[in-house]
Amino acid sequence: MFTNIDVSMQNKLKIINDPVHGFIRIPHEILFDVIEHPYFQRLRRIGQTGLLNLIFPGATHTRFHHALGAMHLMFTALETLRQKGIKISEEEEKGAMLAILMHDIGHGPFSHALENMLMDDWHHEKLSLLLMNKLNEEFGGQLSVAIEMFQGKYHRKFFNQLISSQLDVDRLDYLNRDSFFTGVSEGNINTQRIISMMNVCGEGELVIDAKGVYSIENFLTARMFMYWQVYYHKTSALAEFLLVEILKRAKFLVSQGMDLPAGENLKYFLHRAKSSATDEDIYRFNQLDDNDIIHAMKSWQNSDDFILSYWCKCVIQRNLPKTVISTRPFAPEFIEEKIKKTNEFFGIDNGKELVHEIKRKLLPYDTEKQPIYLLKKDGKKIRLEESQDQLLSGLMVHKTARYILTFPREISNIIS
């Protein structure tokens, strides 16, 4: 005997083919509804790694890809914890999957690079929370548990740790995904092994079974290599810096009365004065994506302002400035020499706008901010760096820094 099937529900329980994780299930209707919402669909047009494709041509994947991958890993992690006897309700499963699905929904064009330029000091997590609350109203409160988990207010701590910590499913996805699309194998980690070692103890705290210590160390070292080899690669750091300088220069010129060609929504933010976010701000923000910035930079190549024109040509034509890298700050005299040569070569008096020192620093493993705990067979937990079996963790607790000096390529061969 056949029973009636709710076709609308059946159509929402999709399976997505992902190049990194394979088949991704959407096990709940509300997940599909959020994915279909314009707020989330915008992430298809927001690059995961900014201008990284200028250095690694394959790095054209998006925040949309990443959010789906992180949701999949959350589902896998929850299934693992259930198998170890941790009770997780369907409502909690929905909440955790929704929270990680939406964790990047507040990202602006080119992700991290421009988030402070468009909305002042509004970090993407603050915008994500604001958009979550708006979606929660639309969906009749179905996202309330997800929002609690995202904020760390839910009474079971491990849900927030899976969303945001030093060993969360966000990092597990972006490391493997960015490694895959850049072709940098050093970032490839065994996510299934790490997730299989996850456990919960005490007051609902996320821990790792002690036998997984080397998988965790591999994860930490892979992340460190990806930062220095990919995210903080000197040309990658330069490209991100240029994006910020271009928007900063454009906003300055607009404030001086210059009319710069730009799409309606980008122009809105170029003219926007500092203030708390309004409904108009949020609406406009959700109309922006990478394409708006690229279109503007293509137009600004022909700007009457030499600095803006120069920066935009550098990015659009990929004729990037020269960079030199050091483990120490550059001497002021060295920087002044570059500024002087820039002024002389271009016949300008504001060459300092084209010469900059960029600093990048990294703490591979922060022992104070949500340290990683190992669960021993006797039920006791110890910090990762205190384990007798650890080999590398103790070496990753110190900050490292690099300094990058950028200046016009045209002056690199000029001899004093």
Joined together, the tokens standing for residue 190 give 């065994």
Give the pLDDT score at 116.
67
pLDDT at 2 over 50: no
Q: With H, G, I as helix, E, B as strand and everything else as coil, classify residue 106.
A: coil
Q: Which of 317, 313, 316, 293 is nearest to 302 (CA)?
A: 313
DSSP calls for 43-96: GGGSBSSTTGGGTSTT---BHHHHHHHHHHHHHHHHHHHHHTT----HHHHHHH
Q: How far apart, in Å, are the Cα atoms of 262 and each of 20, 253, 268, 292?
A: 36, 13, 9, 8
Confidence band of 3 (pLDDT split at 50, 70, 90): very low
Residue 47 half-sphere exposure, CB side, CA atoms within 13 Å? Answer: 23
Q: Which of 144, 146, 172, 207 is nearest to 370 (CA)?
A: 207
Q: What is the mean pLDDT of residues 117-138?
A: 82
Give the pLDDT score at 356.
96
Joined together, the tokens standing for residue 406 give 């950028």
Residue ranges of domains in the chain, CATH in brackets: 14-232+369-398 (1.10.3210.10), 234-319 (1.20.1250.30), 321-363+400-415 (no CATH)
Q: Which of 148, 160, 17 is nearest to 77 (CA)?
A: 160
Q: What is the mean pLDDT of residues 119-136?
A: 82
Integer Rg of the chain from CA: 24
pLDDT at 365 over 50: yes
Confidence band of 120 (pLDDT split at 50, 70, 90): low
266-307 residue pLDDT tens = 999 999 877 777 888 889 989 999 999 999 999 999 999 999
Give the pLDDT score at 369.
84
Name the burial class of residue 146, with classes exposed (0-12), middle (13-18) and buried (19+) by CB atoms within 10 angstroms of its CB: buried
- Find the helix or strand (DSSP H, E) in which 41 lies: helix 38-41
Matching residue, tokens 């329980």: 13
For residue 416, count other CB atoms closer than 10 A to its CB: 5
Mark out the alpha helices in 139-233 (DSSP H runs): 144-151, 157-163, 169-182, 191-196, 213-226
